[in-house]
Amino acid sequence: MKQIPQHIAIIMDGNGRWAKKRFLPRVAGHVKGVNALKKIVTHCNDLGVKYLTVFAFGRENWNRPQDEVSFLMRLILKRLNKELDELHSKNAQIKFIGDRSRINSELLASVLAAEDKTRQNTGLNFSICLDYSGQYDIVQAVNRIIAENPETPVTEEILSQYLLTDGIPNPELVIRTSGESRISNFMLWQLAYSELYFTNIYWPDFSPAELEGAIEWYNNRERRFGKISEQI
């Protein structure tokens, strides 16, 4: 029987290149990407994955063309409102991770409403990283520690408690699509011992079958956490 990772994190990359390859506008790739995400969320829930975290919008993404950024924000708002009741009916808990000061008031209201509505759910913990970066997460944690406990020495345990992912276990499996082999400022602290799976598939084409392939790859890994392999 395959071991299902408790926490899977995904860098959803390649929407624009998927669209360009088909001579479509970049925004068409984002729409297709959201459709792919719905299938993956459903499949993770069916497989018994406890935590799913996706990188939806990084802090560096604000540097993209303004019309694309505006479209992405509207798309997130539209699909969040559309899918919320179904996710709630499946007992999923929704959490948004990132800086909330720069997203517009309408989207922020929907974010807060989704978190409040699903707060008591005990199924899949679905976290969406929005205006997030790993460096930002560490810096905001340090600043909060200094403000609240200026005399207390900072330890790894204390810093972890101030990260935006507090209460969520570190990912065992990280998936990045589109052929890129980097983590692009995603969960820098939390990925210390994650298994990193890179695939050439563009995100809009990443299917439940591709997810199971990544889990199969994960099952063939030996997780040593710095220890000498027993197979040597």
Question: 198-215 burial by CB neighbour count: b if 16+ within 10 A, else e?
Answer: bbebbbbbbeeebbebbb
Count CB atoms within 10 A of the CB of residue 163: 19
What amino acid positions are annotated as catalytic residues? 13, 61
CB distance 45 to 124 below 8 Å: yes
Residue in the structure block whose two tokens are 């459903």: 42
Query: How many CA atoms lie less than 13 Å away from 68 in the CB half-sphere?
Result: 14
CB distance 196 to 7 below 8 Å: no
Q: Which amino acid is at 132?
A: Y
CB distance 108 to 130 below 8 Å: no
Q: Which helix (H) or strand (E) holds 18?
A: helix 15-21
